[in-house]
A and B are shown apart, each in its own frame.
Chain A
Amino acid sequence: MGQWEGAAGLTTQAPRAAQAVTLPASLDEAVAALAAMPAAVPVAGGTDLMVAVNSGQLRPAALVGLGRISEIRGWQYQDGHALLGAGLTHARMGRPDFAALIPALAAAARAAGPPHIRNAGTLGGNIVSAAPTGDALPVLAALEATLVVAGPGGARREVPVSHLLAGVEMLRGGELVGYVRVPLLHAPQVFLKATGRTGPGRATASVALVLDPARRGVRCAVGAIAPMPLRPLEAERWVAQFIDWDNDRAIAPEVLTAFGEYVATACVPDAEPAQDGTVPPLPPAVLHLRRTVAALARRALGRALS
């Protein structure tokens, strides 16, 4: 009973079917491989895709593995911006050198699940799977990041990340997200995530907040509460005027609280008024979500300015 031995004729080896896997070494080779076999599915970390494959929900005819494309596994600098490879893993983005460049993205990467997921999951995968709870997404929305999309024949086109997430512009057949262009703001950034637990879990709400001292702006995005990150633009503009940009970026505590409320009301709006004009109260769970967003936004701005 301790060690179970199979009866005669039983083994523990199952034969496995071979699958067509291409492992291109460059972005253009990968695009060409996709063009040559339109039924093939690109896979980077596979933390979402392989779950679907293993559970039998997805049976791709072939896979194009992106793991050997070294050009998209690092980053480079380009006129005040960082050009992040889509193959950067969460583990890599969580390291201190990256955190010094884009602190909020590093924080989101560190929060993005348990170590084995962070070791495999990539920035590009987080974007294209576009799960509402994708932790990098509110950060990219707050940074107003732009995607560099590689197409057939060496073509490159740029798509704002919010356009892709909102479905305004889609990836076309055979295209791959190659890079993500984000501004280097040289100012504090915060990513905060509320989960129902202490261990790694999906966000119930998250807030990314970045300061843009050059433009004297605050940019904020709320994740996980809607199909895509929400930007409370009015609240951002409103709060920016209360920050003493020249004097240690000081702010009054009551403004922090009001900012939290402003963001929360914008992102978790009241219910539609009834026929007689009365506004029905929000259900307790929604009210709690609004309270959570308010606390996260207040804490995020407070930490960015402290």
Chain B
Amino acid sequence: MSSEATTTTETALPAAEPLPHGLGVSLPSTDIRAKTEGTFPYTADLWAEGLLWAAVLRSPHPHARIVSIDTRHAREMPGVRAVITHEDVPGSALLGRGAVDRPVFASEVVRHHGEPIAAVAADHPDTARMAAAAVIVEYEVLDPVTDPEQAFEAEPLHPDGNLIRHIPLRHGDPDAVGETVVEGLYRIGRQDPAPIGAEAGLAVPRPDGGVELYLASTDPHTDRDRAAAVYGLPPERVKIVVTGVPGATADREDQGFQVPLGLLALRTGCPVKLTVTREESFLGHVHRHPTLLRYRHHADAEGKLVKVEAQILLDAGAYADTSAEALAAAVSFACGPYAVPNAFIEGWAVRTNNPPSGHVRGEGAMQVCAAYEAQMDKLAKKLGLDPAELRLRNVMATGDVLPTGQTVTCPAPVAELLEAVREHPLPPLPKDTPADEWLLPGGLEGAGEPGAVRRGVGYGLGMVHMLGAEGTDEVSTATVKVQDGVATVLCAAVETGQGFTTLARQIVQETLGIDEVYVAPADTDQPPAGAGCRSRHTWVSGGAVERAAKMVRTQLLQPLAHKFGMSTELLQITDGKITSYDGVLSTTVTEALDGKELWATAQCRPHPTEPLNETGQGDAFVGLAFCAIRAVVDVDVELGAVRVVEVALAQDVGRVLNPAQLAARVEAGVTQGVGIALTENLRTARGLVRHPDLTGYSLPTALDAPDIRIVKLIEERDVVAPFGAKSVSAVPVVTSPAAIASAVRAATGRPVNRLPIRPQAAVVTTQ
């Protein structure tokens, strides 16, 4: 494996140049070549001798009582090896990430379209599918609750009730009023994480009565513990091996199929595999919370914000998952990165019969950003101020207080970010560059007519928190081993495409001066590293790797330092050679090791946070990251077609650890934001998912992606973070939809209160 890694690096770079190493350089990832050539094995490619295929029967109704389940016909089909329902769950009957309130299999009632009811293992995927279809379920169809506003009054859909969380945040003087008041009602649609590689899994029974699950899990230990509880096994008898993750911008794996896979493997004693169809993928995994937001901003005559009042309603769908956390982010960041002395934010997350919502990059923060930035545009219009100027008058800085009462202690260079994007030259108009073909809204062969196209410029300022909030124990453990001049990193942090393995190599190179670093695959036999979200792994897992590497460094250098009577700090390791500051000592790492293996394991745990109290107050967040975006759009105002021409972005990154990887993350985030702004909305009709396919659900393509200009990266180190680095992936997702909506508003003069922006909302009628 490590020899292959070396080959990859060599072919990716001109042979003459030395390999980059250490922090702050664009070290390429070791799997670039395999992924580009299509030889990288994902879960769906796995195969085992004697394999059975699974299929899951899912509910065709969003809300129904199950009268009876008859599996007899399915069991009797030739080739069928097992059919399981809620009756066959030996342990805990509940699943869920965050809240545990989701049945493994629906028993009495189904609460959303696509809820698992039974699973089948058979010797052929078609047989499994047909057998699943042959399970006879008698339903008594119930009226679905699909409007989150109705959820408060509706009959409880779940024993835990319909209200998942309510945060009435109160901060400051409730009687404060401003001279200028603007109000608005905003709706955000349901984004699907739509991972390009749909979910797949393989379960292999173990001789000790346990089971191994091969999954693209992003949080293997939590998934393992849940699965073990369901199987009624101790956690150590269940092992999750993390396979290649084909795209993860959310809790990508649907526990509703992974846990039954293991049950089927235990039941049949055979390996069982499932590759979900695109439709099942859309039905099974969690989505971004559709949100309804009502806002009232008060400002004085100069445009300084006096008070913000807001009501935020998150549609959690049928199960709670991480909705409570999403609500905390939505409420805490409801005013955005602005200094607001008085804030009264009421937030609810409620249960409906819609598809389940959960963790998707920037959850909570993204929805409020679209709304508060729309309010800022409205306020600027009412006051006759330039929208960027109004924002500049209100931006927060280090030392300001969030509406949660938490003082912002980390760098918060918001004004600097906004000024950077504002001062960046605007993209040329087509008339300035007649030689270039003008890509009109509607595309290359679309119906666009230059005469009907108007250009608009809009701004967005966004913020996210990093790591889990409200007292979550965010800990990660890593082990570093050095042998024969090669370093190995063992850490259960999952490489989801965020670049953790590359970063881990860079950290070890930087700390130990050893260039050849191998990062082992993740599984649950290693100590937990936690979920891969909110830039955790850069912070806690990266921090753990650094500590372990430092401990190994000390072990390596201590004997030498002792021998030469100097401290280890006076020795340095570069290119596998150990030298002292004065050049007296020079030896190689291999010699110093003298055939020994050096191991060290370390943990990283950021400073603790506290839950928000009953008025939404508390130091709930470890760190914050900010971003400013200026979007330029062209709108065909007759057809309502929008093309994002350019997105200029300035971001507060703390420290750049890998420039190429950082740029890729930012570009991916902006592109995901373009999807939220313009096309991505998983539609439902009375709780039934419409068009669960990639034709009906339009992800941005290369032509939809704008020119993305990273205008400025502010490297003001966050002293509490390892390396001083901040989250980079989430904040562009949060901010870009707001900036694009702002630009469409500027181009059309229309209010644009809803995302994604429907063509009819961007049409300018002449009458």
Measured CB to CB, the residues of A under 8 A from B are: 1-7, 9-14, 55-56, 59, 107, 110-111, 114, 192-202, 204, 207, 284-285, 287-288, 291-292, 295-296, 299
Contact = CB atoms under 8 A, between A and B. Distances in A.
A14 B494 CA distance: 26
Contacts of B678: 196-197
Contacts of B602: none
Residue among B49, B244, B443 with most chain A CB within 10 A = B443
A4 B277 contact: no
A6 B41 contact: yes
Contacts, number: 143
Contacts of A6: 41, 46
A222 to B, nearest CB: 12
DSSP majority for the A interface?
loop
B41 A56 contact: no
A192 B447 CA distance: 5
Interface string B191-217: 000000000001010000000101000
B582 interface: no
A281 B704 CA distance: 34
A6 B46 CA distance: 8
Nearest to A11: B47
A28 B183 CA distance: 71
A49 to B, nearest CB: 15
Contacts of B29: 2
Interface in B451-488: 452
A194 B695 contact: no
Contacts of B277: 55-56
B398 interface: no
A13 B47 CA distance: 6
B443 A195 contact: yes
A201 B691 CA distance: 14
A195 B442 contact: yes
A295 B447 contact: yes
Interface of B: 1, 4-5, 29-31, 34, 40-41, 45-49, 125-126, 129, 202, 204, 212, 214, 241-244, 277-278, 439, 441-447, 449, 452, 494-495, 501, 519-522, 638-641, 643, 678-679, 695, 698, 700-704, 759-760, 763, 765
A168 to B, nearest CB: 29
Question: Which 6 pairs from chain A and chain B are nearest by CB?
Answer: A199-B701, A111-B445, A199-B703, A288-B760, A192-B447, A12-B45
B442 A291 contact: no
Given A12-B46, A200-B701, A284-B760, A7 B443 contact: no
B47 A10 contact: yes
B703 A2 contact: no
Nearest to A302: B449
Given A192-B447, A202-B695, A292-B639, A4 B41 contact: yes
Given A59-B126, A194-B641, A199-B700, A5 B521 contact: yes
A107 B278 CA distance: 31
18 contacts: A1-B521, A2-B519, A2-B521, A3-B1, A5-B521, A6-B41, A6-B46, A12-B47, A13-B47, A56-B129, A111-B445, A114-B701, A196-B698, A197-B701, A207-B447, A287-B760, A296-B447, A296-B639
B638 A295 contact: yes
Contacts of B1: 2-3, 5
Given A6-B41, A114-B701, A198-B442, A1 B522 contact: yes
B592 to A, nearest CB: 27
A288 B41 contact: no
Contact of B443 (A198, A207, A287, A288): A198
Given A1-B519, A288-B759, A288-B763, A194 B442 contact: yes
A4 B698 contact: no
Residue among B125, B638, B700, B703 with most chain A CB within 10 A = B638
Contact of B126 (A14, A56, A192, A195): A56
A110 B445 contact: yes
Contacts of A59: 126
Contact of A194 (B48, B278, B446): B446
A216 to B, nearest CB: 26
Given A2-B501, A4-B244, A197 B704 contact: yes
